[in-house]
Amino acid sequence: MQNLSMLFFCALAVALFPIMSSAQRIAFTSLRDGNMELYSIAPDGGNLLRLTDHPGKDLNPSWSPDGMRLAFESDRDGNAEVYLINRDGSNPVRLTDAPGEDGRPAWSPNGQFIAYYHQSDGGEPQIHIMRPDGQFVRNLAPTSAHTQLQWTPNSQAVLAYMYDEQGTAIYRIDLDDAPPTPLTYVDDSDNGFSLSADGQRLVLAAEIDDFGSELFVLELDSNTPQRLTKNLYRDTLPCWSPEGTHIVFTAFQGGPPMLYIMDLASGNTSPLTTTPANFGCAWSLH
């Protein structure tokens, strides 16, 4: 009877509090060693792994859907290009080799495409799409400078910052060439956003006072925002957990940036990294 009771309460706990997979990793950029390098860490703050070690700047990671590879931006060969590495940092492969800058890669959930930002010398910024082997597919749309990119869950549209007559907005740009649709207007295109895995919620950082930005969750169906943070300093660059239960973000608490993790059910926030000078995040599905 005692064993049955224990099983019942374990099952109840799993139902009420979704458990993050122990195999999940959070990739981020760190300046802890004096140069921009990529690291990954477990969601509980353990098992830190350095992924890159190069004099160039390595940043803006994006996981493949199976969690086995990372696309990222690097200027290690002289200008910004998109590269791939394995989950453990091995086997770096350069994907782009075009005049100008290529960066901000975003891997589609179906694994078939990588969207990235491209700007040729003196040209207009564009969103390009390629295969994971580097084969160019198409130019999707013009966009704002060095914009963050993210795919919708069905891999049929890309979210990006774009400018229009009303200001800066997070736009949905469909692959079927339908006119781009603004989802919400923001104050700054550097603060970052993240779409939940179910495509229903957008977490974003917005400037609200003289001190900096705070995090909000926007329900896309109702366009209703909910404020998540209220700090004296800047909270920015958020990313969702695959289960939609946690958010990792970069916080400037009067010093170098640190990564924090928030439990949305309780609102509790705790440091994810103990060494400062970390920013940005990408949470793997596996």
User: Do 63 and 107 meet the contact criterion of CB atoms below 8 Å apart?
Assistant: yes
Chain CA centroid to CA 258, Å: 15
Chain CA centroid to CA 101, Å: 19
pLDDT at residue 123 in the model: 85
198-232 per-position pLDDT tens digit: 999 999 998 876 667 899 999 999 999 999 998 87
118-174 per-position pLDDT tens digit: 999 888 899 999 999 999 999 999 987 678 999 999 999 999 999 889 988 999 999
Average pLDDT over residues 5-28: 56
pLDDT at residue 211 in the model: 63
